[in-house]
Structure 1
Amino acid sequence: MNAVREQIDFSTYISAFRKHLKHLFREEFDYNAMSLHRDFPADFLSEIMKKKPLAVAIPTAHGGRGVSVKECLSVLSAASYESLALSLMFGINIALFLEPLAKYGNYSVQERVFKQFIENNAMGGLMITEKAYGSDALNMKTAYRQVDNTYYIKGQKHWQGLSGAADFWLVTARAVNASGDLARDIDFFVTDNNMPEQHIPMVHRYNNLGLYAIPYGINEVDIVVPAEQKLVAESTGIKLMLDMLHRSRLQFPGMGMGFIKRLLDESLQHCQTRIVGGVPLLNLDSVKHQITKIQAAYTICSGMCAFSVGQSGIEHNLAALSIEANTLKALVTDLMQESAQVSLQLAGANGFRLDHVAGRAIVDSRPFQVFEGSNEMLYAQIAEGILKLMRKVKEDNVLGFLTTYNRTNISVDFFRTYLDFRIHGVMKQRDLVTLGSMIARVISFQFVLMLDGFNTQLVEITRQYICRDLAASHGHLHSKNDVNPVLDYETHSDWTAFLV
């Protein structure tokens, strides 16, 4: 058993870690130049890891800081203030490897693996996605057979962050039953890339549009692992997966927090010092409006982080927390992209450079709206979850239900005008997406309201921001838009044919 390490006070640690990252990214290394190249240089990453940031997600019994959600989110935020790619690298390790291993792993495997993270700065990731199935994880074809105390696993995975770079993986697979078919349930296996029989090679690397520091590609799985490296589910593997993915989604605001704050700080500084027509850019009314969008995002993300601290610890099972998890992931990633777009617009031509913080922010934050479930899918699932609850209590008025729903019963009064409508019949998927995005905003404002003593000016900015969004969504929802794409669109559509 590893000796329990004496840890310094976290406020002291995180303050030093922020200074360490700032020094590395802005002084010791030219990160603006590095941002144009793939992967972090080995010596640069080694310097980052000297502060043992991943120890926040390792139990104290194994030399870590104890898997405190507040500490995990703070580390993610500190990283994303300097680099969203670095924060995602930490997020992959924390939410998709270390926390699941700490909760579901065999103790002897935990002991061996966590030691590598503490002593040798190892990294880990998760392999779920397959080329033909994407979000349809339940139909994955990676399969395993058990022979005595050994599992033989074979298949192909892709788009895993840290492909070809991680030392350890959690690999998902389905059992081959007696008839040769694949079982419906999913199981998770810890693999050690340093063991030849467990090595998973990346056979093709993708040229990802952003997040250059993180390698992605196609991974061929043809491995043999001992039985002790199978995670032990509390009930089914599917519920284990939901618990893990929901926990990961609930911790997205940690990555969003530092990222949005950096964009806010940069934009405020630029607009206060940039002189246009003899006055600072910030004097323009439209610029003030744009800045408040980022401040609203900052405020919403703050409420989300506070909510996550109370809900996403590994002592909780989050398999049933889909509405909340989907709300945090979808809305915060939309806010990240919107904040990046605003920041680039305010920066002017300079923002269009890839090595500018705003330009890099746009391409780095865009995939966050897609991976771990596309936001359209998650918003639709939020709406479906709420409608299911409404049917259960025989309520067809959205306002009537949200007034009694424990995630919106406080915030709903601020937005009654936009929510007082009834749901009749089956909704189109496009309308489910719109309804889900509306509900996500009402839920998130309640998280803000729960921050007792939070800056009242920021709260009011956020209320008005959400009112604007809900008004627009209300219009979309009631516009009865049912158009479909025209497949033979070239028929009678060449504009030159209509000239005399």
Structure 2
Amino acid sequence: MTGDDAHLDPVDPVDLFALDGDLSAAEVATRDRVRALVDEHVRPHVAGWFADGVFPRDLVPHLAEAGLLGMHLHGYGCAGASAVEYGLAMAELEAGDSGIRTFVSVQGSLAMSAIAKHGSPEQKERWLPGMAAGDLVGCFGLTEPTAGSDPAAMRTTATLVGDEWVIEGSKRWIGLASIADVAVIWAKADDGEGVRVRGFLVPTSTPGFTATPIEPKLSLRASVQCDVRLAGVRVPADAILPHHPGLAGPFACLDEARYGIVWGATGAARDSLGAALAHAGAREQFGRPLAAFQLTQAKLVDMALEVARGQLLALRLGRLKDAGRLEPHMISAGKLANVRSALDVARTARTVLGGDGVTLEHSPLRHALNLESVRTYEGTDEVHTLILGRHLTGHAAFR
């Protein structure tokens, strides 16, 4: 380095396309702040959380203090961050662990977004400030044992009896349900204009509401997903979310969560690449570091290209979202491409680590296991492929 260049920051070898140069000072500050939170509060403990299959409740106040709960929402104690800032935060959280990003996503992009987008002023005042502060936890009950990719086939019903709604049914794979204070439950209801899918705010202390964690799991072990039973659950008439009936209601929230996944997957991929690079530089075989072998360099280059492409895609979608131009098929393209790519990176990184890569001392295989869930929830590969197929051809091929 010459004297004229000595003042420059060192170049990050993983940032192949100098992406940092396209971020504002506020965006970089958000990213670095969340990265520091993950370094301090997640990385030292996440292997133990994953091994023990526990979600760290004591992490929630730190997430709230950092303004990460409902951070893309405005008012009610929410940070009102831009889409790109939100995305950068999701990438840093998932670089720590998908389960931690999942908590923030379920709380903010699903449960809080449902209330913010579809709720009454009274419902927003009742729930959003406490959820933003981390004092209250929410969950989002859409998927059912027999209705995953086809939510229109849901069997959960809500019937108006006097001045109460009576909800009957079951939900499955509901994140945070056993630790939640309120559940956004989607059910088929006759709301006076026919039977339509409607959202209901159900305090989890309501008699008849039961949430049972699904165990054992091989993925998202530092998170919690549940079976939920709703047996004659009674809530007042004003528990219904008044706006946007039909499946458009939950789908609007799913798009928020899917957008976060586009970014989150890049974090898992980047962290996997970083682990492989560090190991390849330190591990010696045949008298040379692994990084000096052509086959290892080929793996590292392929992974770095995938990480860079995923980051560029996420940033493009973030700029479109901030400009009000992001469309659902774009989110599907981002989720499908980036999660699939991140899985390939995590699996390849594990091979660079050799046998050590199957231990929890290293992150890539943990990321790969988590990403198997991420590729399934908020729309499987097949669902997003069909969404894109419909966009390209004009023909819906879901049935």
* Fold shared, TM-score > 0.5 on shorter chain: yes
Return the letter of the residue paired with 1:239.
A
Is 2:266 aligned against 1:257?
Answer: yes
1:266 to 238, 251, 275: 275
- Distance in 2 between the 1:232 and 1:317 partners? 26
Cα-to-partner distance string for 1:231-269 (whole Å, 9 max, x where unaligned): 2334x4222233222332222122112212111221122
Report the counterpart of residue 106 of structure 2 in structure 1.
92
Cα-to-partner distance string for 1:192-232 (whole Å, 9 max, x where unaligned): 224x35x7321463322111122222111142233333223
- Distance in 1 between the 2:163 and 2:81 partners? 31
Between Structure 1 and Structure 2, the one with more strand by share is 2
Is the Cα contact below 8 Å between 2:186 and 2:197 reproduced in 1?
A: yes
1:185 to 188, 196, 202: 196
Cα distance, 1:127 vs structure 2: 0.7
Report the counterpart of residue 471 of structure 1 in structure 2.
none
1:283 to 287, 292, 311: 292
Distance 1:92 1:42, change over 3 A: closer
Report the counterpart of residue 63 of structure 1 in structure 2.
77
Unmatched tracts of structure 2, length 5 or more? 1-25
- Distance in 1 between the 2:313 and 2:285 partners? 36
Cα-to-partner distance string for 1:27-82 (whole Å, 9 max, x where unaligned): xx5432332012134334444544342151342x3122115322221221221121
Is the Cα contact below 8 Å between 2:70 and 2:107 reproduced in 1?
A: no
Q: TM-score, normalised by structure 1?
A: 0.68
Report the counterpart of residue 340 of structure 1 in structure 2.
346
Return the letter of the residue paired with 2:238.
E
- Distance in 1 between the 2:38 and 2:317 partners? 24
Report the counterpart of residue 217 of structure 2 in structure 1.
208
Is the Cα contact below 8 Å between 2:142 and 2:185 reproduced in 1?
A: yes
Report the counterpart of residue 491 of structure 1 in structure 2.
none
Distance 1:184 1:294, change over 3 A: farther
Return the letter of the residue paired with 1:33.
G
Is the Cα contact below 8 Å between 1:80 and 1:86 reproduced in 2?
A: yes
Q: TM-score, normalised by structure 2?
A: 0.84
Is the Cα contact below 8 Å between 1:127 and 1:157 reproduced in 2?
A: yes
Cα distance, 1:383 vs structure 2: 2.1
- Distance in 2 between the 1:10 and 1:148 partners? 51
- Residues 301-380 of structure 1 aligned to structure 2 (within 5 Å): 301-312=310-321, 321-380=327-386
2:302 to 293, 301, 306: 293
Tell me whether 82-91 or 16-25 shows the greater mean CA deviation: 16-25
- Distance in 1 between the 2:132 and 2:331 partners? 29
- Distance in 1 between the 2:190 and 2:195 partners? 10
Cα distance, 1:288 vs structure 2: 1.9
- Distance in 1 between the 2:370 and 2:212 partners? 24
- Distance in 1 between the 2:325 and 2:183 partners? 22
Is the Cα contact below 8 Å between 1:260 and 1:336 reproduced in 2?
A: yes
Unmatched tracts of structure 1, length 5 or more? 1-8, 392-426, 430-500
- Distance in 1 between the 2:243 and 2:132 partners? 25
Report the counterpart of residue 113 of structure 1 in structure 2.
127
- Distance in 2 between the 1:97 and 1:142 partners? 18
Report the counterpart of residue 253 of structure 2 in structure 1.
244
- Distance in 2 between the 1:326 and 1:91 partners? 17
Is the Cα contact below 8 Å between 2:94 and 2:268 reproduced in 1?
A: yes
Cα-to-partner distance string for 1:281-302 (whole Å, 9 max, x where unaligned): 1222222221122222222222
- Distance in 1 between the 2:248 and 2:63 partners? 35
Cα distance, 1:177 vs structure 2: 8.1
Report the counterpart of residue 145 of structure 1 in structure 2.
159
Is 2:389 aligned against 1:383?
Answer: yes
Distance 1:163 1:355, change over 3 A: farther
Cα-to-partner distance string for 1:90-134 (whole Å, 9 max, x where unaligned): 112222122232222111111121121234432222111111222
Indicate the RMSD between aligned Cα atoms, in angstroms.
2.9
Distance 1:307 1:121, change over 3 A: farther
Report the counterpart of residue 40 of structure 1 in structure 2.
55
Is 2:176 aligned against 1:162?
Answer: yes
Return the letter of the residue paired with 2:243.
A
Higher relative contact order at CA 8 Å, sep ≥6: structure 1 or structure 2? Answer: 2
Structure with larger Rg: 1
Return the letter of the residue paired with 2:50.
S
Return the letter of the residue paired with 2:200.
F
Aligned residue pair count:
373
Tell me whether 262-271 or 44-53 shows the greater mean CA deviation: 44-53
Distance 1:301 1:12, change over 3 A: same
